[in-house]
Structure 1
Amino acid sequence: MGLDWAYFRRPYEELHDRHDAAERQEYLVGRQPTAAAHLAELAPLRKREPIPASGYTGDDERLWQIMKLYALSRVSDYLIELFCPAGDPPPGFGVTGGRAVMEGSTTHRLELGGWQINATPGWIGSRRLELDELAAYTGFFTDIGLTPFEHAETFSPFHHEIFAVMQDPSATRVILEEVLWPGFWFGDLLFSRAGVRVRAPRHLIDAAVATTSTLYFTFSREPRPTSDLSHNWGSNSQWRTSFHRFYSDEDGLHLNWDGQVDIGEDPPQQPADQSDDPNPLDQRRELLLHRCFVRSALPRDEDDRFPYDDRLSLTTAEWPLRPESIVRVPWTR
């Protein structure tokens, strides 16, 4: 078939017209053969390749393939949102957060990124899991040709999206308690991360920050705030957004492979036509690795960062990040 780059936009929009789990499940099953065929034509994206020295142009089919995969990621974001709605998790499950707010004024001092305010932090609700919706998500993406994974040995921010945190001051590291939903591979390309519940001391993973700070590289995760390059564009222009490619292969883990700035360097070398990023390097690495901030020193402008130009290659994705895990790999052709 010819490249119908806008195909996956249609199921995304049509899913919004199905208002219960059974109806959505029936719709996804009916779409499976065609969706599988459209995904198969994106096979060149399964392997990491050097970027053209001048970047992809509008005439390059690879760019259109990347945009087509972005539309499929919107289907994924919508289905994840359905099985992680606002609601109370089971007792003892941990903090699942939502959208951070400040409720009222008290005499307590709250430290946020080096500044202090008199306030009580709160959340607009929490989040729970809906297993029927989860089954529809897992079944559809498996059936169209993606490979599910859990990566259940240890916590890895490359592979795992934090859904819930159990704060444990006695812990000395981040402990993976449970994989809640699978992630998916498209060859070596990470299509989506697995959702996890972790146990950690506050200095490594702050429960409030890790579950309520802005989740980047994500279109929507209500009630959690998100940031995506399609935001604030028109109803048609937003679909010309590129999928953010995170790869795992024999040379390591490659975060945001299309980013122009290698933040493995210290200091990073900005392109000649860009001004230097004034944000601390450790914050830029934390944000790219987790796709959100996770530590208690939350920057005041945490919802106004731009990690989309940054890239980083690692041998392993541990937290805290080990400097010796950073590797340099050839990037351009």
Structure 2
Amino acid sequence: MELDWGYFRELFGGLFRHDDGVGERRAYLSSERPTAAEHLVELEALRKREQIPAGGYVEDDEQLWRIMKLYGLSRVSDLLIEGFCTQGEPPTEFSATGERAGIRGGVTGGVKSDELAVHTEFFSGIGLTPFDHAEAFSPFHHEIFTVVQDPSATSVTVEEVLWPGFWFGDLLFSRAGVRVRAPQHLIDATAATTSTLYFTYCREPRRTDDLSHGWGSNSQWRTCFSRFYSDEEGLHLNWDGEVDIAVDPPEPRAGWSEDEMEPLHQRRELLLHRCLVSNPLPADESDRYPYGDRLSFTSAEWPLRPESFVAMSNTK
């Protein structure tokens, strides 16, 4: 395989060898920036959404290796984000030790500006395009980090953009982190900041879940990057997913019975926010499988409007 898919794995490992403060991390990433930019050019085919072969990509498809290679770069991003997000005060119903490993932001979490600058400089410098989408809250574009619970509010609004998101062409590489103001019936502060964050390698001490978890030290790097696109036809969540949940009822996931399926509104909420944002949280909220679902729609609002859903095939 001509594509050097292991480079970003090596870059990730290098962050642990250059971990003596923000200055050392900045110097290390700065020295790697030209090489990282060259490797990102190898992935140009991912910048636009394509029709996927029926049955998905097989091991000798170079597109599959590109998707796995981009996953390695996303791990670098998650690790740096984890470094500049500071832990907030845990909600009162959690123990001080973080029993659920879910205490992450609450309503008081903050961001270390020097660590944030390292992240922004590196990803801007290798060819990704930063954005904040500050004009309106969009769960497609925004990761909720903190919530100001406001019973007088009638909608969800962005109070502050805490870190930028990044585009790779039409492909959403990472969302912008935000503090929002919201009524509890739309965004519950505890649920939105402590429930499991899916499609994410790490946000310690918040519990996260991605498809690399539970695999060995080599196998985990064959994880595919989860592709979320925005283009002229709409917004496309988890484009490689097998089951279109714009349709009600959707086809059952392969190997799953109807009794095993979560409620459709929760599947849509989880795929859109990458976590659950409504209380009460279901007992199995940390054991969901959103990776098989996909959803296309025309407007990134919360709550979603069913009339904005677009049933769309992702296969050739």
> TM-score, length-normalised on structure 2?
0.93
Cα distance in 2, alignment partners of residues 285 and 54 from structure 1: 23
Q: Tell me which residue corresponds to 1:57.
A: 58
Larger radius of gyration: 1
Q: Tell me which residue corresponds to 2:35.
A: 34
State yes or no: 1:229 paired with 2:230. Answer: no
Q: 1:90-105 maps to which residues of 2 (within 5 A)?
A: 101=94
Q: Contact 1:99–1:124 (CA<8 Å) still a contact in 2?
A: no
State yes or no: 1:143 paired with 2:125. Answer: yes
Q: Contact 1:100–1:212 (CA<8 Å) still a contact in 2?
A: no
What 5-or-longer segments of structure 2 have no aligned partner? none
SS in 1 for 2:30: helix
Cα distance in 1, alignment partners of residues 307 and 55 from structure 2: 30
Q: Tell me which residue corresponds to 1:319.
A: 302
Deviations 1:265-312 (A, max 9, x none): 100013555433421000000000000000112111100000000000
Q: Tell me which residue corresponds to 2:24.
A: 23
Higher helix share: 2
Q: Tell me which residue corresponds to 2:250.
A: 268
Q: Tell me which residue corresponds to 1:3.
A: 3
Deviations 1:182-228 (A, max 9, x none): 00000000000000010000010011110000000000001111011
Deviations 1:227-284 (A, max 9, x none): 1110010000000000000000000000000000000010001355543342100000
Q: Tell me which residue corresponds to 1:132.
A: 114
* Among 291, 300, 304, the residue aligned to 1:308: 291
What 5-or-longer segments of structure 1 have no aligned partner? 89-96, 104-120
* Among 170, 181, 193, the residue aligned to 2:175: 193
Judging changes above 3 Å, is the alpha-carbon distance between structure 1 residues 248 and 292 closer, same or farther for their aligned structure 2 residues?
A: same
Judging changes above 3 Å, is the alpha-carbon distance between structure 1 residues 122 and 219 closer, same or farther for their aligned structure 2 residues?
A: closer
Deviations 1:93-119 (A, max 9, x none): xxxx5897358xxxxxxxxxxxxxxxx
Q: Number of aligned residue pairs: give it.
A: 308
Moved over 6 A (4+): none
Cα distance in 2, alignment partners of residues 201 and 235 from structure 1: 43
Q: What letter corresponds to residue 154 of structure 2 in structure 1?
A: T
Q: Superposition RMSD on alpha carbons, in Å?
A: 2.0
Q: Tell me which residue corresponds to 1:330.
A: 313
Cα distance in 2, alignment partners of residues 26 and 166 from structure 1: 36
Q: Tell me which residue corresponds to 1:66.
A: 67
Q: Tell me which residue corresponds to 2:267.
A: 284
Cα distance in 2, alignment partners of residues 100 and 53 from structure 1: 47
User: Aligned residues: percent identity?
Assistant: 66
* Among 256, 272, 276, the residue aligned to 1:293: 276
Cα distance in 1, alignment partners of residues 293 and 86 from structure 2: 31
SS in 1 for 2:159: strand
> TM-score, length-normalised on structure 1?
0.88
Judging changes above 3 Å, is the alpha-carbon distance between structure 1 residues 194 and 78 closer, same or farther for their aligned structure 2 residues?
A: same
